[in-house]
Amino acid sequence: MLTNVHLVTVDWGHCDPAGVVYFPNYFNYFDSSTNALFLRALGCNKYEMLKRYGIVGIPLVDVGARFIVPSTFGDVVTIESSVAEIRRSSFRMLHRLLRGDTLAVEGTETRVWVGRDPADPDRLKGMPIPADVVAKLKG
């Protein structure tokens, strides 16, 4: 399965009054890291990906994280992201955020390949992940 490495500079505005990353921001980092993996796999950015495949997004149905070591503003952290499992219309991502050589945060995302429901365009609906996307995510 495909793996991608994404660097993030922890900035002042990501940190809380304790001086460390405010935890929801780790999910922003993981989301960016998933997008970076797709950019590498498909050779197009998310805007073009949505147009090309006629989808609305790849929203999450399940997410989890374990916070082991805090990071602070000025740190440059490394996120190793990999596709862990691909099903018909969903897939699972693993993220490992490293501060230097230390595993600092570990996260997992389950995402769905989602379009508009033809019967009701205000509703979102899971769709089969196209075969070429599956092939590229398998690396």
- Residues in contact with a copy of itself by the rule CB under 8 A: 9, 11-13, 15-20, 22-25, 27-28, 31-32, 35, 45-48, 56-57, 59-68, 70, 72-75, 114, 124
* Amino acid, res. 65: A
Compute the least distance from the CB of residue 130 to a copy of itself, in Å: 19
Compute the least distance from the CB of residue 12 to a copy of itself, in Å: 6
Compute the least distance from the CB of residue 79 to a copy of itself, in Å: 13
Q: Phi and psi (nearest 5°) for 130?
A: -60, 150
Q: Which is nearer to a copy of itself, 125 or 136 (CB)?
A: 125
**Residue ranges with strand state E in the chain:** 3-9, 60-67, 76-86, 90-99, 102-112, 114-117, 120-126
Q: Which is nearer to a copy of itself, 94 or 124 (CB)?
A: 124
- CA–CA dist 118, 121 (Å, integer): 6
Dihedral sign for Cα 74, 27, 138, 136, please: negative
Q: Which is nearer to a copy of itself, 69 or 138 (CB)?
A: 69
According to DSSP, the β-strands at 76-86 and 120-126 are unpaired
Q: Which is nearer to a copy of itself, 62 or 138 (CB)?
A: 62
